[in-house]
Structure 1
Amino acid sequence: QIGSVQSLGGTGALRIGAEFLRRWYNGNNNTATPVYISTPSWENHNSVFVDAGFKDIRTYHYWDAAKRGLDLQGLLDDMEKAPEFSIFILHACAHNPTGTDPTPDQWKQIAAVMKRRFLFPFFDSAYQGFASGSLDKDAWAVRYFVSEGFELFCAQSFSKNFGLYNERVGNLTVVGKDADNVQRVLSQMEKIVRTTWSNPPSQGARIVATTLTSPQLFAEWYDNVKTMADRVLLMRSELRSRLESLGTPGTWNHITEQIGMFSFTGLNPKQVEYMIKEKHIYLMASGRINMCGLTTKNLDYVAKSIHEAVTKIQ
């Protein structure tokens, strides 16, 4: 039921999957199949599917700015309204850029609607282990969909959890109804690979394979991943604590409720501009900040700067 193709990082996995779906899913060369991407999402999702030839890129509700959390009802409503056989790009864990993931119960609701509406799940798993510190917890959504009998794709990146950005190590997992079906899909994917990068580099992939198949190396790597994830979780907790101690207007529980490398702070564009120009703290205009940039040495400065931005700039 399961097969895979090595790719050039997570982006390469997305592109091979997109190329295959455009050529063979929902009819031959069907560029009109709707592809749904969350609002907001990683900007490259849109570009990859447009470049693969899809003509109907749509968005689905995800982030509720008012409550600074998941807009589950909006998401489910969009899935209910989507044409059957539409493709939905789902973040497996540590949603980029919001850091807000559905709970297991919410994932079950999402899966139920997708199954009933015959929607195709294409997972992007870029941060496994980096979200919660648990490989199993971060893979829960994908595994649940598989257990529910879905055929799906899952693009996997080893750039972050192995620190192999420059080696471009990725994997596209194909889950089908039976071995015959999977083999037919893989044979077409191999043709697509042959005309894109032809043959992926081996060094990074061998590092990953050696680590994952050696009990000793796997244990050491897993411990390292958990250490990094725990550090980010600690920085979240400390930042929230400092903002609350300063009496910064608003609520800041969303910082610890979000997960992964990024956080939607809730700062508006003018407050972000103040942070950049006056405090030299760099974040996206959307208010997204990289939590990995926080350290025990700069936490106080960042917290006080956010406090100033919120109190001075409306």
Structure 2
Amino acid sequence: MAKPSTRLNVAPVPPDEIFALNGAYGADTHPQKVSLGVGVFRTDDGKPWPLPVVQKAEKELVADDDLFRHEYTTIEGDVPFLRLARDLMFGFEGKDSEEEAKARIASVQTVAGTGANHLGALFLGHHMKPPTVWLSNPSWANHMTIWELADVPRKTYPYYHAATRSFDFDGMMSTLETEAQEGDVVLLHACAHNPTGLDPNKEQWVAIADLCERKNLFPFFDSAYQGFASGSVAEDAWAVRYFFTRKPDMEMCVAQSFSKNFGLYGQRVGAYHYVTNRSSTSLRDVVVNNLCHLIRGEFSMGPRSGCSIVKKVLTNDQLTAEWHQDLQVMSSRIKSMRKALYDELSRLQTPGTWEHIVEQNGMFSYTGLTPKQVYALKDQYHIYLLKSGRASISGLSQKNVAYVAHAIDNVVRNVN
């Protein structure tokens, strides 16, 4: 008889809430069930929507019949793809000193945005050894896990003002001003903050950039929704581009995902960009070299098929134009569902204020519902959202929005 292991020092960890919730939704047989948990785009019929331009690109790739399509790339990834990803994020069109600007950016391919966040945390943890990483409160739950695994001490700055259901800009600035130390990392959501849907305005972004520069903090942007949030890739990258162009003596980095804006959730397409200051461009190749060292020890190189789709689209003017149209379709549907939910709650005269639903941005809404109310929605109405009250607006449709609003109205009135 085999002896039980005495070498492992392990204990159960809580299951990931989003994937556990999605599993519970899948097992539910109720005909009116609604999934407002997982962050994926859905049509008004509740079905996946492979982007039409992605389907075109896939057909063209099949027709190309590239004999090397299943071969290895390089450790840093598909280099032409990385150039396209970099230019999409930082925007160089027609600007003076374009080559000098590009020389500041070290780019490698990653396993989607999660992999970019992880690689960035690991790289900074090894080579910069920040005293602390500052995460917004609340933030994407996986941020905490990623930085914990990188063994970097974690603190949070205020972000959400519960009483007004608004962005707590004053709380954020005050905390970072008084408590953040030189060399700390500050994680910033480039747009469509997850989970609140609340973003700084441009004036506030300018103030955040000034604070990071003055206190010598290191900005780490997580860009998961470029083009998906507003429908404009330039607008959704405004903060990143401002930091890059207006603070050339400040180093920073960006974790870039193509999951949402290309609908390539399972293809795991991403990039990590480390930006040197303008006087240290000679470090770029050394940074890439060290990032490749970490990549080689983890996954050798990024997946090929998804980045080939992105590359096919972004190297063809017609396909690029069609992609921008697809972005408008997705962002417009999200906005229309926000308004539909708000209008229905207003019609029902649901207690409380609900303007935040239409004032927030992107896929998610921080509804303001309490954990008890969230559990009641699941148990009584088979509506699934995170216990924090975060709802994925994409799960709403013209067919279920009235049902969801009625359920919210009921639990707000009856569940404290």
After TM superposition, is the score higher than 0.5?
Answer: yes
Deviation at 1:256, TM superposition (A): 0.6
Q: Does the alignment pair 1:236 with 2:338?
A: yes
Structure 2 residue corresponding to 1:157, chosen from 239, 253, 257? 257
Alignment-derived partner of residue 360 in structure 2: 258
Rounded to whole Å, the distance in 2 between the matches of 1:277 and 1:15 is 35
The aligned residue for residue 60 of structure 1 is 157
How big is each residue's C-alpha offset from its partner over 1:246-267, in whole Å with a ceiling of 9 and x where there is no partner? 1111111100111111101111
Provide the aligned length of Structure 1 versus Structure 2: 308
Secondary structure at the counterpart of residue 266 of structure 2: helix
1:118-175 deviations in Å (ceiling 9; x for gaps): 0000000011111111111110110011122231110001111111111111001121
Cα distance in 2 for partners of 1:273, 1:163 equals: 30
Map 1:100-179 to 2 at 5 A.
100-147=198-245, 148-149=247-248, 150-177=250-277, 178-179=280-281
Q: TM-score, normalised by structure 2?
A: 0.73
Higher relative contact order (CA 8 A, sep 6+): 2
CA contact (8 A) 2:109 2:301 kept: no
2:387 to 285, 297, 304: 285
Q: What CA RMSD, in Å, does the superposition of the two structures yield over aligned residues?
A: 1.1
1:308 to 390, 410, 414: 410
Q: CA deviation at 1:42?
A: 0.7
Aligned to 1:41: 139
Stretches of 4+ moved more than 4 A in 1?
A: none
Task: Report if aligned partners of 2:195, 2:366 keep a CA contact under 8 Å in 1.
Answer: yes
Larger Rg: 2
What do the CA deviations read for 1:277-310 (whole angstroms, capped 9, x no partner)? 1111111111111100000111111111111111
Question: 1:82 matched to which residue of 2?
Answer: 180
C-alpha distance in 2 between matches for 1:181 and 1:79:
29
Seq. identity, %: 47
Counterpart check, 1:182 vs 2:318: no
Report the TM-score when normalising by structure 1. Answer: 0.96
Amino acid at match of 1:159: S
User: C-alpha displacement at 1:179, in angstroms?
Assistant: 2.7
1:53 Cα offset (Å): 2.3
Where does structure 2 lack aligned partners over 5 or more consecutive residues? 1-103
**2:150 and 2:375 mapped to 1: Cα distance?**
35
The residue matched to 1:128 in structure 2 has which SS? coil
Which digits, 9 at most, give the CA deviation of each residue in 1:154-208, with x for residues without a partner?
Answer: 0001111111111111001121124312222111111111111012221111111
- In structure 2, distance between residues paired with 1:152 and 1:241: 41
Shift of 1:3: 2.5
**Structure 1: gaps (5+ residues):** none
Residue type of the alignment partner of 2:255? A
| Residues 191 and 226, structure 2, Cα contact 8 Å, conserved in 1 | yes
